């Protein structure tokens, strides 16, 4: 698992790593008969500081991800003008407690791990208070059934999406999952990613939600190429960028 960095990443190394990750994304998309332009690289910045994030913005990265509301607040506030000028977006990719909804609505463009109707209600309430008319969300699904992971059970997704339709300000744009971590992502990750794609396709074909569920956020450093082969539209990459 990724650990906090104890030293800055030199800009030239970050540029090389980013190029390598983009090349891997393109190669995986080609293997799947897809266009790499259909895959968004979400740079997970939780273990790096302001210099690395600024360098990513200079290098054209448009999507940044954090998973700790309190720890990331200073980053978001300090970089607000630079992120806006770059046309970039902040994604919250961690588990969000309902009592932290106000911070999420204030600072993030997309919440990638919404997993309860209570959280939807809290987010919609905060959007109304702040005059925000749209907040992009993804529904997190615990495909693997691991007890230590958050997310909806697959069987709960239909009811969740039906409830989500009552809160149009929280626009659900797709699904997100995390695969089991291990030494064999081919065995552990591919079935999870395939199941999430199939579940999304079922939700769309059966009309569980009134808007298209076009996004599939799945895959991290150890398995993002497999995720792309299985239909990911967003991959969440951290350590491969900063190692």
Structure tokens at 76: 């978001």
- Please state which CATH number belongs to domain 11-242: 3.20.20.10
What's the whole-model pTM score? 0.94
In a 13 Å sphere around the CA of 201, the CA atoms on its Cβ side amount to 9
Query: 59 near 15, Cβ under 8 Å?
Result: yes
Taking CA atoms, 7 is separated from 16, 19, 59, 238, 243, in Å, by 17, 21, 20, 15, 11
Tens digit of each residue's pLDDT, the chain (243 residues): 344 455 689 999 999 999 999 999 999 999 999 999 999 999 999 999 999 999 999 999 999 999 999 999 999 999 999 999 999 999 999 999 999 999 999 999 999 999 999 999 999 999 999 999 999 999 999 999 999 999 999 999 999 999 999 999 999 999 999 999 888 999 999 999 999 999 999 999 999 999 999 999 999 999 999 999 999 999 999 999 998
Contact 239, 221 (CB under 8 A): yes
Is there a contact between 137 and 92 (Cβ–Cβ < 8 Å)?
A: no
């Amino acid at each position: 698992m990724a650990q906090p960095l104890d030293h800055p990443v030199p800009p030239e190394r970050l540029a090389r790593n980013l190029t390598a990750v983009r090349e891997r994304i393109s190669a995986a998309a080609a293997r799947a008969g897809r266009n790499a332009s259909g895959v968004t690289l979400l740079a997970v910045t939780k273990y790096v500081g302001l210099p690395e994030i600024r360098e990513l913005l200079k290098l054209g990265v448009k999507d940044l991800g954090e998973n700790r509301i309190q720890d990331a607040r200073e980053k978001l506030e300090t970089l607000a003008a630079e992120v806006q000028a770059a046309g970039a977006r902040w994604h919250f990719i961690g588990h969000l407690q309902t009592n932290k909804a106000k911070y999420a609505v204030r600072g993030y463009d997309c919440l990638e791990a919404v997993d309860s109707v209570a959280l939807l209600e809290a987010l919609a309430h905060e959007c109304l208070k702040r005059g925000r008319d749209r907040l992009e969300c993804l529904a997190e699904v615990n495909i693997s059934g691991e007890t230590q992971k958050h997310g909806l059970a697959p069987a709960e997704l239909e009811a969740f999406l039906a409830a989500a339709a009552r809160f149009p300000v929280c626009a659900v744009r797709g699904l997100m999952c995390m695969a089991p971590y291990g030494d064999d992502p081919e065995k552990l990750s591919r079935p999870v990613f395939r199941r999430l794609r199939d579940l999304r396709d079922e939700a769309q074909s059966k009309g569980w939600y009134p808007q298209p569920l076009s996004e599939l956020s799945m895959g991290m450093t150890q398995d993002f190429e497999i995720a792309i082969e299985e239909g990911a539209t967003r991959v969440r990459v951290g350590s491969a960028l900063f190692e």
